[in-house]
Structure formats: C-alpha cells, structure tokens
Structure 1
Amino acid sequence: MATLLITGAAGRIGSALRPRLLSAGHDLVLLDERTPSDPVAPGERFVPGSVNDVGALDDALIGADTVVHLAGIPTEAPWDDLVAANLTGTKNVLERAAGAGVRRVLQASSIHAVGLVPEPLDEPGTVPGDRLPRPDTYYGVTKAGMELLGSLFADRSGMSIVSARIGAFGERPSSRRALLMWTSPDDLLRLVLATIDLRKPGHHVVWALSRNTGSPADLAAGERIGFRPLDDASTVLDPGARAALPAEDLRYLGGGMADLPLGRSTS
C-alpha cells in the first residue's frame, strides 16, 4: 500500500478523498493551514502548514511515495494571490517532492485551463483531456501553468505526474452543466489509484471527469494511464431532479467563469 501526502487536505476534495483512500488501505499525510474538520484517523498524520512553507512540506514528505496536490486558490482571485498559491506553491511541492525521491504526483488542474473552448454540445467525446490550454480567467492561467510545471519536473526529475482537469466536483451533480462535466468523488479516487500504479516517468494531462452521457470530454488520455471512470451524472438523479437543476451558461467548457472580471475575487 502507498503512503500519500495530500496537500490542501482540509478542503472539499481532500475531505472527500480521505475516507476513500483509507478504506483502500493507504496511509495518509495531511498538509493544510487549517485543521481538518474530520478528526485525524488511524493511518493519518496531520502536518500544519502551507505549500509555501518548505519546512512543513519537507516534514510532510517524510515516508511519502505519492503526492496528491490539491492546495491552492480554487477560483478567480487577484493575480499576485493566485501566482503565490497556485504557481509558486506547485513549484514548491514538485521541487521538494523530487528532492525527497517521490516519484508520483497527481495535481489538481481544472476545466478552467481550457475554459474558453466553445462547448460542442452536439459532439460528445470531442475535446481531448490533453487539449492545449485556452484559459478563461487568471485562475485558469495558473492551472495551465501548473500543467507546465508538471511537464518540467516529469522530464527533468523522471517523475510520473498527472495533471487532472477536474470539472464540477461533488457527491451529486448540482447544475445542468454538471450533468456533462461532473467529477464524482469515487471516480476521482479511481484516478488517484491509477496514479499510484504508474511506474514509467512522464507527464499526463487528463480529464478528471466521470463517464457522463453526452459529455464533450474525450476520456482516452486518462484511459491510457489506467483511469476508467464508472459513474454517470445522468444516472445519479431521477428525471424530476435533473429537470429541476439550475440552468448554467453552456457557451464554453468553463461556463460563466468567462464573464467574471479578471482578477476579482469571487469569495
């Protein structure tokens, strides 16, 4: 079994992955500035600190063989804040992981790295997971930059790095867009498990999405590294619940983020 460092472990995605990874038999190191709301369980170790605190990173990396890098600002924000958290923070994680001999990293990129791709609603499966970036915000730019850092460290340090373009993450789809671009917690777990099994160095940009009926996402890039999502947003909700979902902008993959003022925080 693996020992995984989860950065940003107290966040929404980290909180959903923790019990699933423990159930799969893995040990976890949890790094976050905030104490996780769920108590630290047997098989877990909590290290307080941020990805810009290299001392805390070095402590958290002791004994780890895989990193799940989730820390960062998850939406549009001022440029300098995004660069510090999402780019410098990712550089620190990859640099310290490489120095510690960690060979596998899954890092949370985003659909917003390709957010201004016009959404081909009538052409399912046409947008590859490793499509060239077309960001919709400064946030999306930093996620595209994260992917470039993944490429750099995979090539220079012989690491296996997966840049996971996460969509509408949640236990259930929460909008009509999510019916197409949903990421279920169980499918994200499957991508983490596929990353743990990687042995050949390389950088892989993949859709971290469920197998949603009618989605424009082509899942082939993920399948090439053993990621085979099983969930489908169209089967999670009954027809009445699907019809009641709020409408959302469907012009672009990133939806309404394209209309946000650049650099303005949404929190």
Structure 2
Amino acid sequence: MTAPRTVLLTGAAGGVGTLMRALLPPYGYRLRLFDRRPIDGEPDAVTAELADTEALRAAVRGVDAVVHLAGISLEAPFEEILRANIEGTYRLYEAAREAGVRRVVFASSNHAVGFTPRPPDGSAAIPVDAPHRPDTFYGLSKGFGEDLAALYWDRHGIETVSLRIGSCFPEPTTVRMLSLWLSPADCARLLHAALTADGVGHTVAYASSANTRLWWDLSTARALGYDPQDDSEPYAARLLAAQGPLDPDDPEHAHLGGAFCTNPPLWQQS
C-alpha cells in the first residue's frame, strides 16, 4: 500500500498522540488532529467529542487513513467507557465508512486480554490469538473495538490493524513495563508499518519494542514490516533494584494486565 498522505490522528492531545504528532510527520504524513481538548499551537485541530457526528464527518473528509487513539485510557465507570470508547469508536467507523476511508489503525490494548496469565520466565510468548480476557470495562471496550473493526472489514471492506499497545512512554517506569514497553520511536515505526502494509484485512498485533523480557509474540507486527529498534533492558537494573522482581503470587503480577487485574484496580483503592 502506498503511504497515505493525510492521516486523521484522534486523541492527538493525549500522551501517545502528543508523542506521535512529532514522530509521524517525518514518515511523510500530513496529520489532521482531533481531540476533545484544544491543542496548544495547533489552531487547525478539530476540537470536539467523538459524540459530535458532524465534527467527525468533517474530520474524516478527504483523509487517507485514521489512527484512532481517542478515548478513556484507564478504568472508569461503565457509562463513561460506553460513551467514549464504545459508542465513540462506533461513530468513528461510521464516519470513516461514509467518507470512503479504507484504512484505520485502532489503538487496542493489552487490557483486552489482561486476565491472561503472564508467562513464566523463559516460557512461550503469549500468542496474538489468545482469547479476549478483559480486565476492566476499559479492557472490555478494547475487545469491542477489535470486534467492531473485524465487522467493518467483513461487511464494509475497511481494513484495520488493531494494535494491543503495552506501555508507550519515553522510558519504562516499572518492572512490569520492562516486558511491555513500546518506545515512542518504535511506536511511530509500528504505526507507519500498520498504515502502509498491504492486504491487512483485520489484523491484530501486539505493540511493544523488542524487549529482552518480552511476554508476547511480535511476529504479527513484524509481518506488517515493523522492525523494532529499542529494548527496555538498559533500564532493568535500576528498576529491579528499586522495586524488586515480580511476585507470581501477587495478583498485581500474576496476569498480563497487572494492576488492572486487582479488585478494584489498585489506583482506585483507598
């Protein structure tokens, strides 16, 4: 597939979106930005909610592809997840269908399969066809998004690469992230591969760097043309010294989703 020229980037004011605003244009993309919050220094960005159908229609008009990062990125009450992540993603796909957009890259998450047991050291990597085991309403919404993408491929011919993103930060901040870290530079490499690969239909791929402590199988991402260049291992000694190794008997450490698998999720506990 020829590299798209204009790409709609939803969630452009978020953490990953902010990083990609700087890192995707060198690959030849002109970005059209969409977020519910105004973006400093970007007067042409579309500022609207995903529930604003007319704003979405205007945003997708004339673009070659969509990178859909918008939505709530942590656990929240179901009603909020429903509006932003489930109904919002549906509205995005409907707008894309009406506008004739043929390629979407959907920011899924490891939390779609969060209750999958993390593999013991040295064991086989988690395959991409692991069944959905969401760890939260947030994870549930990402499983829905993957299934919605499959429906729009089968029914409407819109190709999607659903990327189960691990942790995309400038550097890993926890021992768990040593296995799931996606460097910003590798994120841009993976998005470029997902935007340009031929014949993807609906493809699900794990999204991380080539980490020494990797828990999942990157072969599907590599088949898209992704060639990760980074590894979390240079951060390992410092993080292990500060936090200690993961304890397989600790609910926070026993599953892929980490703290999202505790009840309630750890950041919501008093």
Structure-1-length-normalised TM-score: 0.91
* 248-257 vs 72-81, greater mean Cα deviation: 248-257
Task: Give 1:51-66 correspondences, 5 Å limit.
Answer: 51-66=50-65
Alpha carbons of structure 1 residues 58 and 240: separation in structure 2 relative to 1, 3 Å: same
Q: Say if 1:109 and 1:163, in contact at 8 Å, map to a contact too.
A: yes
- SS at 1:175 equivalent: coil
Report the AA paired with residue 11 of structure 1.
G
Q: Say if 1:128 and 1:220, in contact at 8 Å, map to a contact too.
A: no
Q: Say if 2:175 and 2:236, in contact at 8 Å, map to a contact too.
A: no
Supply the distance in 1 between the matched residues of 2:260 and 2:244 (Cα, whole angstroms).
16
Superposed displacement of residue 109, structure 1: 0.7
Superposed displacement of residue 125, structure 1: 4.9
Superposed displacement of residue 265, structure 1: 6.4
Supply the distance in 2 between the matched residues of 1:83 and 1:247 (Cα, whole angstroms).
36
The correspondence for 2:259, drawn from 256, 261, 265, is 256
Determine if the alignment matches structure 1 residue 79 to structure 2 residue 75.
Answer: no
Report the AA paired with residue 243 of structure 1.
A
Supply the distance in 1 between the matched residues of 2:236 and 2:216 (Cα, whole angstroms).
23
* 243-252 vs 22-31, greater mean Cα deviation: 243-252
Determine if the alignment matches structure 1 residue 94 to structure 2 residue 88.
Answer: no
The residue number in structure 1 matching 2:217 is: 218
Supply the distance in 1 between the matched residues of 2:119 and 2:200 (Cα, whole angstroms).
33
Determine if the alignment matches structure 1 residue 244 to structure 2 residue 247.
Answer: no
Superposed displacement of residue 260, structure 1: 3.5
Determine if the alignment matches structure 1 residue 35 to structure 2 residue 35.
Answer: no
Report the AA paired with residue 126 of structure 2.
V
Q: Say if 2:125 and 2:217, in contact at 8 Å, map to a contact too.
A: yes
Q: CA RMSD in A?
A: 2.0
Q: Which runs of 5+ in 1 are unaligned?
A: none
The residue number in structure 2 matching 1:186 is: 185
Decide which structure has greater strand share: 1
The residue number in structure 1 matching 2:249 is: none
Superposed displacement of residue 199, structure 1: 3.5
Alpha carbons of structure 1 residues 25 and 242: separation in structure 2 relative to 1, 3 Å: farther
Supply the distance in 2 between the matched residues of 1:172 and 1:229 (Cα, whole angstroms).
15
CA displacement, residues 125-155 of structure 1 (integer Å, 9 cap, x when unaligned)? 5202342211111111111111100100111
Q: Say if 2:173 and 2:239, in contact at 8 Å, map to a contact too.
A: no
Report the AA paired with residue 109 of structure 1.
S
Task: Give 1:15-34 correspondences, 5 Å limit.
Answer: 15-34=18-37
The residue number in structure 2 matching 1:47 is: 46
Structure-2-length-normalised TM-score: 0.90
Task: Give 1:161-176 correspondences, 5 Å limit.
Answer: 161-176=160-175
Identical amino acids, percent of aligned pairs: 40
Superposed displacement of residue 54, structure 1: 1.0
- SS at 2:253 equivalent: coil
CA displacement, residues 222-256 of structure 1 (integer Å, 9 cap, x when unaligned)? 12222222211113x37345533576632110011
Superposed displacement of residue 198, structure 1: 2.9
Q: How many residues align?
A: 260
Task: Give 1:75-154 correspondences, 5 Å limit.
Answer: 75-154=74-153
Alpha carbons of structure 1 residues 92 and 172: separation in structure 2 relative to 1, 3 Å: same
CA displacement, residues 47-76 of structure 1 (integer Å, 9 cap, x when unaligned)? 111211111111111221110101111111
Supply the distance in 1 between the matched residues of 2:123 and 2:64 (Cα, whole angstroms).
37
Determine if the alignment matches structure 1 residue 13 to structure 2 residue 16.
Answer: yes
- SS at 1:129 equivalent: coil
Report the AA paired with residue 187 of structure 2.
L
Superposed displacement of residue 167, structure 1: 0.7
Supply the distance in 2 between the matched residues of 1:238 and 1:254 (Cα, whole angstroms).
20
Supply the distance in 2 between the matched residues of 1:125 and 1:172 (Cα, whole angstroms).
25
The residue number in structure 2 matching 1:2 is: 5
Superposed displacement of residue 214, structure 1: 2.2
Supply the distance in 1 between the matched residues of 2:123 and 2:224 (Cα, whole angstroms).
21
Supply the distance in 2 between the matched residues of 1:265 and 1:91 (Cα, whole angstroms).
28
